[in-house]
Structure 1
Amino acid sequence: MDSIAFWNCGGAKKKEASLYMKEFINDYKVFFVGLVETKISSFDRIDFERIKGPNWDFFILPSEELSGGIMILWRIDIASFSVLKTLDYCMIGDLNVFNKGSWMIATVYGSKEVHKRRLLWDCIHEKSQRNIPAVIGGDFNCILSQEEKRGGRKFTFSQGSLEMFKFMNDNDYHDVGVVVQDILGSIIKWEVEEF
């Protein structure tokens, strides 16, 4: 197992999403997944084990009505995950990969509201001041270039794009882009070469 992934699944209880996730995890040897827009308000261990099996654990940030929601999944034989902070649109925690080290992981389902995005940047900045590497992934609901956009009006830097770009520059974060994409949604896979 050597990869982590983030995916806007558009509903984690959909049969197609579950099957696709299993296949993706096996094909790319994923041991940590940050799912956003799960549209799940509750999820019990029996439902979870039916989908993923006993070698996995999860933490859920419930959706509000029929939108949002974040779920973190990780292989318990490879790593542990401890939640540091949750917001309606973000879950931040430490991923400790056994005998390899720890990383701060922020899984984001970005708000379109300027005020909430600013709170998100402040929260991530605060939590990332510790001396461990950090990875931020998910759906930011904000794009930084024309290449990220399909159809519609031509891309222009909005206030949200400029603030996200400034946040990334101020904190030395780098956009790895979309590595794998499918009709079910975007998945960002980040290779952890040390594993």
Structure 2
Amino acid sequence: MCWNVRGLGRRVKARAIRRFVQEKKPTILFLQESKLEVASPLLVRKMGGKILTGAVVVPVVGSVGGLITLWNQKDFVVKEEVIHSRFVAGLMEGVQGICCFINVYGPSVDADKEQFFRELSSFLEQLDCPVCLGGDFNAVLTQEEKDGGAVNPVSVNSFRDFVSQTNLIDLPFIWRSFYVV
């Protein structure tokens, strides 16, 4: 599951995440835009509860971003973590073998997107295992994916090229509800 939380500065957000985890019981949860310079172990435990006990945190850069990946340590053991300012990757071992989970928060400035996609593509090329890539890319593949407003065709093409060149599969939304906190 992925959730752009748009800031975790208010306690109500952490409680909403905790309720979500208790209700949906995800194995892995990608949170984007935490906007936290430091995510305390207490906050991380509060959000993951007894279900999502593993965590890796990427602090905010300036006033933008921040990533938190939570997972169930009964299902996955982290073999390696790679932390980048715009993504965090966990090479994990589960019952099905080794896989890589990558939580992404892409740049919102169109001029920065192409470089970001090159960096992420370069990282993906190094992997020799199944990959699950999720998060907020701050990019869309079609105009229909954008809630209001026009999209930059150069940005759309850059994202399409990235998806195509890395052989990723764009999965459809199967649950599109939004928590308002």
Give TM-score scaled by structure 1 length. Answer: 0.78
For structure 1, list consecutive stretches of 5 or more residues without a partner in the other structure. Answer: 186-195
Partner of 2:60: 63
AA of the residue aligned to 2:172: G
Residue 122 of structure 1: how far off its partner (Å): 2.6
| Counterpart selection for 1:120 from 116, 119, 122 | 116
Is 2:75 the partner of 1:81? no
Q: Name the amino acid aligned to 2:82.
A: K
CA distance in 2 between partners of 1:76 and 1:84 (Å): 14
Deviation at 1:114, TM superposition (A): 4.7
Counterpart-to-counterpart distance in 2, 1:65 and 1:184: 26
Cα offset, 1:82, TM superposition? 4.5
Superposed CA offset, 1:55-101 (max 9, x none): 5021111013432100111111221235543222111221322x222
Which residue number in structure 2 is paired with residue 151 of structure 1?
148
Q: Distance in 1 between matches of 2:154 and 2:83?
A: 25
Deviates more, 1:26-35 or 1:113-122: 113-122
Q: Note if contact 1:17-1:184 (Cα within 8 Å) is conserved in structure 2.
A: no
Instruction: Check 1:30–1:13 CA distance in 2 against 1; reply closer, same or farther (3 A cut).
Output: farther
Number of matched pairs: 178
For residues 83 and 17 of structure 1, do their structure 2 counterparts lie closer, same or farther at Cα, with a shift above 3 Å needed? farther
Q: Secondary structure at the match of 2:176?
A: strand
Q: Please say if 1:182 is aligned against 2:177.
A: yes
Distance, in Å, in 2 between the alignment partners of 1:29 and 1:47 is: 18
Matches of 1:96 and 1:8 in 2, distance apart?
A: 26
Question: Taking CA–CA contacts closer than 8 Å with sequence separation of 6 or more, which of the two structures ends up with the larger relative contact order?
Answer: 1
Contact preservation (8 Å) 1:12, 1:18: yes
Q: Distance in 2 between matches of 1:81 and 1:159?
A: 37
Out of 20-29 and 85-94, give the one that drifted further: 20-29
CA distance in structure 2 between the partners assigned to 1:64 and 1:125 by the alignment: 21
1:11-69, CA deviations, whole angstroms, 9 ceiling, x for partnerless residues?
A: 13433332332233233330111111001111222332233335502111101343210
Contact 1:104 1:134 (8 Å CA) reproduced: yes
Residue identity opposite 1:177 in structure 2: P
1:36 has 2:32 as partner: yes
- Shifted more, 163-172 versus 18-27: the winner is 18-27
Q: 2:98 aligns with which of 75, 89, 102?
A: 102
**Which structure dedicates a bigger proportion of its chain to strand?**
1
